[in-house]
Amino acid sequence: MQDQSVLGEIDWLVRAGFYDKADLMRIICDEIYYDSNLDADQVSAAIDKRIKAWMQTQKTWPKVTDCDKLDQVFAKLNERGIIALQNAGNTQSDGYEIFEDTLKEHPQPTSVIGYCFYHNQDLERVVDGDDLYLAFGPVKAEDEESRGPEIGKIIRQELEQAGLKVKWDGTFNERIRVTDIVWQKRNPACRSVDFDS
């Protein structure tokens, strides 16, 4: 495959770390380039090649990456009653809707005190080397100014305890920023592809 834009999309999607081979094929062939008549075999081969290269790169990573730390933080936030979502939709509005849906399905919704998420645009930026921005807030929108900073403080505390660097002005008006993060997320596609067959 020679199309640099397709190869670029494959590259960032693999580096993002959320998509297995089936997801990658669907996103490239059926979503992003749905009207381009891409050759599925060529796309599959390009994905396999990129995954194989990414697997080699992972061998040089530290045992615990910043993304591993972030995963641990999000798990702890969920334990503390903050619905924490990674790669939640494409925009802040999408992420908030996903939070609301998750809250409706939560087994103990009264135990939830807030939310924290980043969306796909945030993911694109951090994969390309920028900081990671986190949206956050209390369960009820009318409590954003009064309770929002409390939720933010909990999130900042967990991030800092995990060894991640944080910039935030302490208000609900500014998203929390994880700075100097090195995006090395272990991709599910890198565990399930047999390149020898």
Are residues 119 and 157 both part of a single domain? yes
Residue 13 carries which side chain, given as an amino acid letter?
L
Are residues 132 and 170 both part of a single domain? yes
State residue 190's pLDDT score: 60
pLDDT at 60 over 60: yes
State residue 39's pLDDT score: 86
pLDDT at 93 over 90: yes
Are residues 56 and 84 both part of a single domain? no
Are residues 43 and 78 both part of a single domain? no
List of residues 6+ apart from 27 with CB closer than 8 A? 9, 13, 19
Instruction: Report if residue 37 sits inside a domain.
Output: yes
Q: 103 and 139 in contact (C-beta within 8 Å)? A: yes
pLDDT at 192 over 80: no
What percent of the chain shows pLDDT beyond 70?
94
State residue 1's pLDDT score: 56
Residue ranges making up the domain that contains 41 = 4-60
Are residues 119 and 152 both part of a single domain? yes
CA-atom Rg of the chain in angstroms: 18
**Average pLDDT for 48-73:** 93
Instruction: Report if residue 50 sits inside a domain.
Output: yes
pLDDT at 80 over 90: yes
Are residues 117 and 87 both part of a single domain? yes
At residue 186 the predicted structure's pLDDT band, cuts being 50, 70 and 90, is confident
Are residues 70 and 47 both part of a single domain? no
* Phi–psi pair at 180, nearest 5 degrees: 55, 30
Instruction: Report if residue 192 sits inside a domain.
Output: no
Tell me the Ramachandran region of residue 53: left when phi exceeds 0, alpha when psi lies from -120 to 50, beta otherwise.
alpha
State residue 197's pLDDT score: 33
For strands 114-117 and 82-85, give the pairing.
Answer: parallel
Are residues 38 and 122 both part of a single domain? no
**Average pLDDT for 178-184:** 97
Q: CB neighbours (10 Å) of residue 182?
A: 11
Instruction: Report if residue 186 sits inside a domain.
Output: no
State residue 38's pLDDT score: 84
Are residues 148 and 56 both part of a single domain? no
Distance CA 155, CA 14 (A): 27
At residue 76 the predicted structure's pLDDT band, cuts being 50, 70 and 90, is very high
Task: Give kind and range of the element (H or E) at residue 166.
Answer: strand 165-167
Are residues 71 and 21 both part of a single domain? no
pLDDT at 67 over 50: yes
Per-residue pLDDT tens over the stretch 8-35: 999 999 999 999 999 999 999 888 887 7
Task: Look over the chain and give the mean of its residue pLDDT values, rounded to a whole number.
Answer: 91
Per-residue pLDDT tens over the stretch 122-168: 999 999 999 999 999 999 999 999 999 999 999 999 999 999 999 99
Looking at the structure of the chain, the number of domains it has is: 2
Instruction: Report if residue 194 sits inside a domain.
Output: no
